[in-house]
Amino acid sequence: MPSFVRPGLGLAAVLLAAFAAMPAAAQNTRVPSSTEEMKLSFSSVVKRVTPSVVNVYAARIVENRHPLMDDPVFRRFFGGRPQEQVQRSLGSGVIVDPSGLVMTNNHVIENMDQVKVSLADKREFEAEIVLKDARSDLAVLRLKDAGEQFPAISFGDSDGLAVGDLVLAIGNPFGVGQTVTHGIVSAVARTQVGITDYQFFIQTDAAINPGNSGGALVDLSGRLIGVNTAIFSRSGGSQGIGFAIPANMVRVVLASAQGGSSVVRRPWLGAKLQAVTAEISEAFGLKRPAGALVGTVVAKSPADRAGLRTGDLIVAIDGTEVDDPNAFDYRFAMKATGGQTQLGVLRSGREIRVAIPLENVPDGPRDERLIRTRSPFQGVKAANLSPALAEELRLDVTLQGCAVVEVQENSTARGLGFRKGDVVIAINGEKIVSSRDLERAAGQQFRLWRITILRDGKPISVVFGG
Q: Do the strands 271-274 and 292-297 form a parallel or antiparallel pair, or are they unpaired?
A: antiparallel
CA dihedral 263, 175, 219, 166 (to 10 degrees): -130
pTM for the predicted model, two decimal places: 0.78
Surface-to-core class of residue 300, CB atoms within 10 Å of its CB (0-12 exposed, 13-18 middle, 19+ buried) = exposed
Its sign, for the CA torsion 248, 254, 259, 260, is positive
- 42-264 matches 271-357 in fold: no
> How many Å separate Cα 372 from the centre of its chain?
31
Domain spans of the chain, in order of start: 42-264, 271-357, 369-465
Rg of the Cα trace of the chain?
Answer: 26
Q: Phi/psi class of residue 17: alpha, beta or left (left: φ > 0; alpha: ψ in -120 to 50)?
A: alpha
Torsion angle of the four alpha carbons 71, 73, 79, 81, in this order, in degrees rounded to the nearest 10: 10
C-alpha distances in Å from residue 219, one per residue of 205, 248, 353? 14, 14, 36
Active-site residue set: 107, 137, 213
Which pLDDT does position 267 carry in this prediction?
93
Tell me the CA distances in angstroms from 38 to 85, 205, 222, 327, one per residue in order: 53, 25, 21, 43
Q: Alpha-carbon distance 95 to 46, whole Å?
A: 15
Asked if residues 224 and 94 have their Cβ atoms less than 8 Å apart, the reply is: yes
pLDDT at 64: 58
pLDDT of residue 4: 25
> Which pLDDT does position 71 carry in this prediction?
56
C-alpha 249/C-alpha 340 separation (Å) is 19
Note the pLDDT tens digit of each residue in 394-446: 888 888 889 999 999 889 999 999 999 999 999 999 999 999 999 999 999 88
Who's near 351: CB < 8 A, 6+ residues apart?
Answer: 315, 344, 345
pLDDT at 427: 94
The CATH class of 369-465 is mainly beta
Beta bridge partners of 244: 202, 228
What is the fold of 42-264? Thrombin, subunit H (2.40.10)
What's the confidence (pLDDT) of residue 72? 56
**pLDDT score, position 393:** 85
The pLDDT value recorded for residue 445 is 85
Backbone angles phi, psi at 55, to 5 degrees: -100, 140
Cβ atoms < 10 Å from Cβ of 344: 19
Sign of dihedral through CA atoms 113, 174, 217, 107? negative
Residue spans of the chain under pLDDT 50: 1-27
What single letter denotes the amino acid at residue 80? Answer: G
Which CA distances in Å does 357 have to 13, 266, 294, 304? 67, 12, 17, 10
**Domain 271-357 class, CATH top level:** mainly beta
The pLDDT assigned to 10 comes to: 37
DSSP assignment of 16-61 equals HHHHHHS-GGG-------SHHHHT--SHHHHHHHGGGEEEEEEEEE
